Structure 1
Amino acid sequence: MSDPTASDWQPSKRLERGNAAEQILEDLRDRILRGQFSRGAKLPTEKQMAEGYGVSGATIREAIRGLVTAQLVEVRHGSGAYVTAQKDQLIAASLSSMIQIERIGVPQVLGVLGALLSYAAELAAKHATAEDIEGMRQALRRIEEGDSAQAISGAVIAFIEAIGQASGNSLLAALCRFFVGIQVDLGANLSGGTVTSWRATTASIGRDRLQVFKAIEARDPAAAKAAALAFHERALEVIIAQPNAATAMVSDPALTALLSSVLRQKAQGDGNL
């Protein structure tokens, strides 16, 4: 890949009639997503891009602001614009926006996790390496030994992440991380967020979680898929039974507000994902 800040840098296509800033934003966005500007790379200077595209500096700045809003780059004053795009954060931002715009409810959101997790477990039973299995085993141990709500939450997510990783499907793994992050955050909020309550919550589905692990370890795809579905259904039952869930379930706007808060954290990279 050539140095994107070189003096001979040129746009990948000519601008057409219309909104120049929007076209420049799309051109740069595509180059970032294709890997021509890798994470951590510095974009060409404002002057270089203005000359290359044949536009004013103000137009370039407008395009860069769009990339910043899309969480693809950050501007370091006095230094320039740098690519900061992260796969998980991009997925989180896109899915969070879609879920809120389409007003998708909590049952539907968590239902997607059930489908993803069962498929991931089935694939993991076929493709998991010894290292993957050990990662799941360590996550299970950390769930039991966690001394804070955050540590327990992180271990729960790590267990699902290990299953997704073992599936051999990077997109599936990223989606599982996103949706289990939502489930964990909702569960933690509804349980009160204390170490005692969250430990009791995770322990109540410990046997179901262990069955998923055993099926994957035994290399039994059908059993792993069934165990993952049973585990997910049990997890939903436990979340609904949480102390603060009754009020939230009765008041749909309250639950929607909680989901929106969780999604905003995910999109901003502040959640467990």
Structure 2
Amino acid sequence: MNTPSNALHDSPRRTNRASITQLIFDDLRQRILDRQFVRGGRLPTEKQLVAHYGVSVASLREAIRGLASAGFVEVRHGKGVFVTASAEDLIANSLNSMIQLENVGMAHVLGVHGALNTYASELAAARATPQDVDTMQKALIAVDHAVTPEDIADGLTRFLNALVRASGNPLLVSLCQFLTTVQIGLAREIQGKRFEAWRKTAARLSNGRQRIVDAIRIGDVDGARVAARAFHEHSISVFNALPKANDAVVQDLAISAFFSKLLQQMMR
């Protein structure tokens, strides 16, 4: 693996300042994606980067700010610039922007999540290990024995994430983990901190979740697909029946504020 100093080579050609900043941004971004700079590692020092690119400190810092805003790096004052990019964060950032730009509504988000989870269930039925199934089952048990809303939310998140990880598809994992966070975040917005409301909603969907796990346990691909599709349809009906589901904050297709807050929480 290249070290920060020897990972630099062939700096981008200089033009005007705006173009220079963009070229530095693109070059460093590509090096991160190529794993020349690995997650958790530190970029070369500001002095090294300025010398390498032959630019001003101002141009370099502007490019670094862009990388930080995009979720690729984190500036730690007094320590340096560290690579923080992860597939989940990058996808979350991109999807959040698209959701706000296109005024995507909750129905669209939940619909896509359901379709992806159905596909994940099929793959999991074909690929899941006994350990994967055990992780899913333990998450469901945790939901059933939860005593707080946070316990239920945590158990549901662990179940959905374990399900998609069992698919063995890294792109599917990243997409579904983001959408799971959205779905659980929406539940928090609607249900608040009322444990009884959380308990009743979780209980209504308990059998459906168990059917998915049972199909995956025996390697029944068709059964897993049918169970996951039925679970999604039931989830939508349960969601629509919630007391606050018809509030403007949920029905309004311009839900950028919700997603902005959610993304900030995810990127912390």
Provide TM-score, normalisation by structure 2: 0.93
Q: 1:30 to 1:266 in 2, by over 3 A?
A: farther
Q: 1:267 to 1:192 in 2, by over 3 A?
A: closer
Distance, in Å, in 2 between the alignment partners of 1:134 and 1:12 is: 50
Aligned residue identity for 1:188: R
Aligned to 1:137: 137
Aligned to 2:85: 85
Aligned residue identity for 2:15: R
Aligned sequence identity (%): 41
Distance, in Å, in 2 between the alignment partners of 1:211 and 1:248 is: 34
Whether the 8 Å CA contact 2:2–2:37 is kept in 1: the answer is no
Aligned residue identity for 1:90: L
Aligned residue identity for 1:245: A
Whether the 8 Å CA contact 1:89–1:266 is kept in 2: the answer is no
Whether the 8 Å CA contact 2:45–2:80 is kept in 1: the answer is yes
Aligned to 1:146: 146
Aligned residue identity for 2:97: S
Whether the 8 Å CA contact 2:126–2:220 is kept in 1: the answer is yes
Distance, in Å, in 1 between the alignment partners of 2:210 and 2:238 is: 16
In the TM superposition, residue 224 of structure 1 has moved relative to its aligned partner by: 0.2
Whether the 8 Å CA contact 1:192–1:243 is kept in 2: the answer is no
Q: 2:259 aligns with which of 243, 256, 263?
A: 263
Aligned to 1:169: 169
Whether the 8 Å CA contact 2:117–2:228 is kept in 1: the answer is yes
Distance, in Å, in 1 between the alignment partners of 2:199 and 2:102 is: 34
Whether the 8 Å CA contact 1:143–1:155 is kept in 2: the answer is yes
More deviation, 128-137/99-108 = 99-108
Aligned residue identity for 2:115: A
Whether the 8 Å CA contact 1:125–1:216 is kept in 2: the answer is yes
Aligned residue identity for 2:259: L
Aligned to 1:10: 8
- RMSD between superposed Cα atoms in Å: 1.9
Q: 1:218 to 1:31 in 2, by over 3 A?
A: same
Q: Residues 135-190 of structure 1, C-alpha deviation per residue, up to 9 Å, x if partnerless? A: 00101011111222112111111111111111110111121111122122212322
Q: Runs of 5+ in structure 2 lacking a partner? A: none
Aligned to 1:221: 221
Distance, in Å, in 2 between the alignment partners of 1:136 and 1:191 is: 24
Aligned residue identity for 1:121: S
Q: Runs of 5+ in structure 1 lacking a partner? A: none
In the TM superposition, residue 269 of structure 1 has moved relative to its aligned partner by: 4.0
More deviation, 104-113/12-21 = 12-21
Aligned residue identity for 1:186: L
Residue pairs, 1:1-273, within 5 angstroms = 1-4=1-4, 6=5, 10-18=8-16, 19-248=19-248, 252-253=251-252, 256-257=254-255, 260-270=256-266
Distance, in Å, in 1 between the alignment partners of 2:78 and 2:217 is: 53
Count of residues in correspondence between the two structures = 266
Whether the 8 Å CA contact 2:7–2:37 is kept in 1: the answer is no
Q: Residues 229-263 of structure 1, C-alpha deviation per residue, up to 9 Å, x if partnerless? A: 110111111111111113338x833x643xx3442
Distance, in Å, in 2 between the alignment partners of 1:240 and 1:40 is: 42
Q: 1:206 to 1:261 in 2, by over 3 A?
A: farther
Distance, in Å, in 1 between the alignment partners of 2:102 and 2:23 is: 27
Aligned residue identity for 1:149: P
Q: 1:247 to 1:57 in 2, by over 3 A?
A: closer
| 3-state DSSP of counterpart to 2:74 | strand
Aligned residue identity for 1:138: K
